[in-house]
Amino acid sequence: MRTSSKVLILTALMTASLVAGPLWAKNDMPAINAEGMELVKDTKSTTIYSDPGADLGIYTAVMLSDASVSFKKNWKRDYNRDTRDLAGKVKDSDMDRIKEGVATIFKQAFTEQLTAGGYKLVDEPGEFVLRVKPAIVDLDVYAPDIRSASRSRTYSESVGEMTLNLELYDSLTNDKIVSVRDHKRDLGHGYAQWRTSGKNKADAQRMMNAWAKAFTESLDEAKASVGK
């Protein structure tokens, strides 16, 4: 089996733009996964599988699902354990608000980049429509802005880190074309900052915009390669 050059173009561009440095030990992944997809990228921070022969260059519209968001395991417990001020401890309502905010920022970033790139955003399956199903997992916010009556402040150089699971499907056949798992860590500003909701949002937007730009440019390159 040979993976389509259109898929390889996308994976090469995405990983060049998305990778933020190795953050965990590399696990050797099987050459063919349980879904019959080929491994085309396997690094310490990125894993990509693709459907052999798939051609991403044919798609002119995108059906973008809302991103699901989940925190790193035991994030709330670990954060609260290290927080002495009772008013500064994370509540379930804080986590729900943060997850909603992350999902909104992701949707805005991808919508803006894809629209600017000339891709039509649609709500229904159709011919030449690519369905994009995103999930943000292992979200680790280093210094969340907690809503409380306390005047306590939290400081951190970086907003945190997260992993993007991105699955691409043909919207009509529901065949999975590409599966991407990419870990990204905010590299920060080189100094600790007071972490307000505005600063956290701005840094999260920067991370999401990088993903969205890389994805859109990858689709452009795949489209340009059609017929070559």
Sign of CA dihedral 12, 14, 19, 25: negative
pLDDT per residue as tens digits for the range 91-131? 999 999 999 999 999 999 999 999 999 999 999 999 999 99
- Choice among 88-97, 122-131, 162-171, 179-188 with the minimum mean pLDDT: 179-188
Q: Give the model confidence (pLDDT) of 204-218 as tens digits.
A: 898 899 999 989 988
The answer to whether residue 150 scores a pLDDT higher than 90 is no
Least confident of 3-17, 112-126, 166-180: 3-17
Q: Which residues contact 213 (CB under 8 A, 6 or more apart)?
A: 17, 113
Q: Count the domains in the chain.
A: 1
Phi, psi (rounded to 5 degrees) for 50: -140, 155
Helix, strand, coil share of the chain (percent; to 5): 35, 25, 40
Dig out the tokens for 48 from the structure: 């990509």
Q: Which domain holds residue 174?
A: 5-224
131-142 pLDDT tens trace:
999 999 999 998
